[in-house]
């Protein structure tokens, strides 16, 4: 039997998703208008006041689902994201943590988005494992349980045992989910450009791009395997912290086989069966681990909640589900470290300074207004913190949220960081309701400070940069010669139209050296001595 080839078949799924996206976006815009009109005060609904939106809402409300017509905008948004499927549920979860961009009533509603979906039959999961690992199940595992441990929007997990008798967890990407997400991402990027034009205040294109960056890594399990091994390397000298061992020979893009942690969640009654000293150890280890991840490594678990923590015998703390991670580049990490250090030590001026150094100023941004607002917030924090029961995480989140009012925006990693801090504050206060979070944090951030700036570490940094230092010394005569030649040309030409033209090379050279000195002072490269020497010579000779 002959089969007719249809070149449009491959676009069918994308066209269906495009139609659904258009349908729900249009419905949400109209529903938002209806909710706006319904929320108008009575005097605005009299006679011809607000006539255009009222008339428009009256005629357009028939295009809104009946069960959503009387709901507020934020509920309509959540429901439509759920109806659009797992990609948009994930997008809503990213939006829920951007409290610096979206109003509180929207982020609060989006936090109710659930990520659990119906289970995929084991027969389908088994086929994916065999196809991905290119071997029959019976040759891969001694035993595998058909009932899943969990079923989320992207993956499904099962318990299994290797042929070496090791208990493991197998995570499998659900069938068709990658193609769906890829199609959705392309559509969302187009939608982001449109919404950026319509609603620039909420930076929709930024949020969508962040979502795309994180989600693309979640549908490739090799990234999660890499993350687990990076974390294990970062904490190899910390015996009380554990990350699952990855079985690379039993893993692929669609399948991840990792060590099974046999323990319990920290928010369950089992934790109270630990002795008081062990409970205190869990708190100390947890806070120290999060602070090291954030402010020393700049590489942290970005989807941290109590469900992703396991209390193991010892007690030790195990971290699982590390597919989503946050990274601070060197500049952000440095300012983040100084910011948190200043915060827990009550240094108001430096706290505001380093917070602002991490921000991006939008169109019409009010820097002085933002600085005054966060300074006042920090002063109130110092007063309240003296009485205990104060959340550092909520303070940081409130600081970041203030930015939205002044068109000052922060990278998504800031809010992901808050999520990590909230988790361990919650665990700590679950065990010790009157836990002094600032004092405990101060202890651990000072330990990071001492490790970072001890003489041995600084000497090691210097030795690592010896090749750059030698290269600069070798090129110093050429640098001086170029500066001298520029000065001679300047003197020979007389007074040019621009008096700085003839010594541009000298000034640029000096500026570059000073930049190197500042970089070292801020902890980037140890070129302090050579920088001071070169800058002094150049500006003494040519800097007039």
What's the pLDDT tens digit per position in 164-199?
999 999 999 998 888 888 878 888 778 777 777 776
For position 8, what pLDDT does the model report?
44
Residue with tokens 């797992």: 86
Average pLDDT, stretch 330-348? 85
Angle, helix 412-431 to helix 437-453, in steps of 10 degrees = 120
pLDDT of residue 251: 95
Task: Supply the pLDDT for residue 541.
Answer: 47
pLDDT of 39: 87
Q: What is the pLDDT of residue 529?
A: 43
Going by pLDDT thresholds of 50, 70 and 90, the confidence category of residue 422 is confident
The answer, yes or no, to whether residue 415 has pLDDT greater than 80, is no
- Check residue 259 and give its pLDDT: 96
- Is the pLDDT at 67 greater than 50? The verdict is yes
Mean pLDDT within 494-504? 47
Taking the C-alpha atoms of residue 477 and residue 470, their distance in angstroms, rounded to an integer, is: 13
The structure's pTM equals 0.69
What's the rounded Cα separation, in Å, for the pair 289 and 284? 8
More reliable by pLDDT, 158 or 523: 158
Per-residue DSSP letter, 465: T
Q: What is the arithmetic mean of pLDDT over 263-276? A: 88
DSSP category for residue 68: G
pLDDT per residue as tens digits for the range 370-411 = 889 989 888 888 777 666 566 777 788 888 888 878 888 887
Which position has the token pair 């030409």?
Answer: 493
Band (pLDDT 50/70/90 cuts) for residue 235 is very high
Please state, in angstroms and rounded to a whole number, the distance separating the CA atoms of residues 89 and 323.
17
Inter-residue long-range contacts of 132-136, CB under 8 Å, 24+ positions, other chains counted: 132/252, 132/253, 132/254, 132/255, 133/250, 133/252, 133/255
What does the mean pLDDT of the chain come to?
A: 78
Q: Are the CB atoms for 413 and 332 separated by under 8 Å?
A: yes
H or E element that contains 172 = strand 167-173
8 Å CB contact between 527 and 519 = yes
* Close Cβ partners of 299 (under 8 Å, ≥ 6 residues apart): 230, 231, 234, 293, 325, 326, 327, 328
**pLDDT over threshold 60, residue 505:** no
């Amino acid at each position: 039997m002959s089969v007719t080839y249809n070149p449009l078949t491959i676009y069918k799924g994308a066209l269906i998703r495009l139609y659904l996206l258009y349908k729900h976006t249009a419905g949400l815009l109209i529903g938002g208008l209806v909710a706006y009109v319904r929320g108008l005060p009575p005097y605005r609904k009299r006679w011809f006041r607000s006539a255009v939106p009222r008339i428009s809402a009256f005629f357009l409300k028939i295009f809104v689902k009946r069960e959503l017509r009387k709901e507020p905008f934020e509920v309509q948004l959540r429901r439509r994201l759920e109806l659009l499927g797992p990609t948009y549920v994930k997008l809503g979860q990213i939006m829920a943590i951007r409290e610096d961009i979206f109003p509180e009533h929207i982020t609060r509603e989006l936090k109710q988005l659930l990520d659990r979906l119906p289970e995929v039959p084991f027969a389908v999961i088994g086929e994916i494992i065999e196809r991905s690992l290119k071997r029959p199940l019976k040759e891969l595992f001694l035993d595998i349980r058909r009932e899943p441990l969990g079923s989320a929007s992207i993956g499904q997990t099962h318990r299994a045992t290797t042929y070496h008798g090791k208990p493991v967890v197998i995570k499998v990407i659900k069938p068709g989910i990658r193609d769906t997400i890829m199609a959705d991402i392309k559509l969302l990027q187009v939608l982001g450009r449109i919404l950026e034009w319509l609603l620039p205040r909420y930076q929709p294109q930024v949020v969508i791009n962040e979502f795309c960056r994180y989600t693309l890594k979640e549908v490739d399990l090799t990234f999660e395997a890499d993350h687990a091994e990076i974390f294990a390397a970062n904490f190899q000298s910390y015996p009380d912290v554990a990350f699952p061992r990855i079985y690379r020979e039993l893993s692929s893009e669609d399948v991840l086989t990792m060590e099974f942690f046999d323990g319990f969640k920290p928010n369950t009654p089992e934790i109270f069966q630990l002795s008081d000293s062990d409970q205190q150890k869990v708190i100390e280890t947890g806070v120290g681990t999060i602070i090291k991840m954030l402010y020393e490594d700049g590489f942290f678990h970005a989807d941290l909640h109590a469900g992703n923590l396991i209390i193991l015998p010892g007690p030790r703390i195990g971290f699982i589900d590390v597919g989503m991670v946050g990274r601070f580049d060197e500049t952000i990490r440095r300012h983040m470290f100084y910011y948190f250090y200043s915060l827990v030590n009550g240094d108001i001026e430096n706290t505001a300074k380093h917070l602002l150094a991490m921000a991006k100023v939008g169109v019409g941004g009010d820097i002085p207004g933002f600085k005054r607002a966060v300074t006042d917030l920090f002063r109130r924090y110092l007063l309240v913190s003296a009485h205990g029961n104060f959340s550092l995480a909520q303070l940081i989140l409130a600081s970041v949220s203030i930015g939205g009012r002044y068109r000052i925006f922060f990278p998504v990693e800031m809010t992901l960081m808050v999520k990590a801090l909230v988790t361990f504050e919650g665990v700590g206060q679950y065990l010790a309701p009157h836990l002094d979070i600032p004092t405990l944090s101060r202890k651990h951030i000072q330990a990071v400070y001492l490790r970072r700036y001890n003489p041995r570490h600084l000497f090691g940094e210097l030795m690592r940069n010896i090749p750059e230092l030698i290269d600069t010394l070798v090129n110093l005569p050429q640098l001086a010669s170029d500066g001298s030649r520029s000065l001679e040309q300047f003197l020979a030409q007389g007074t040019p139209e621009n008096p700085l033209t003839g010594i541009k090379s000298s000034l640029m050279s000096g500026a570059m050296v000073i930049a190197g000195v500042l970089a070292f002072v801020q902890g980037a490269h140890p070129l302090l001595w050579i920088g001071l020497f070169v800058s002094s010579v150049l500006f003494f000779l040519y800097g007039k």
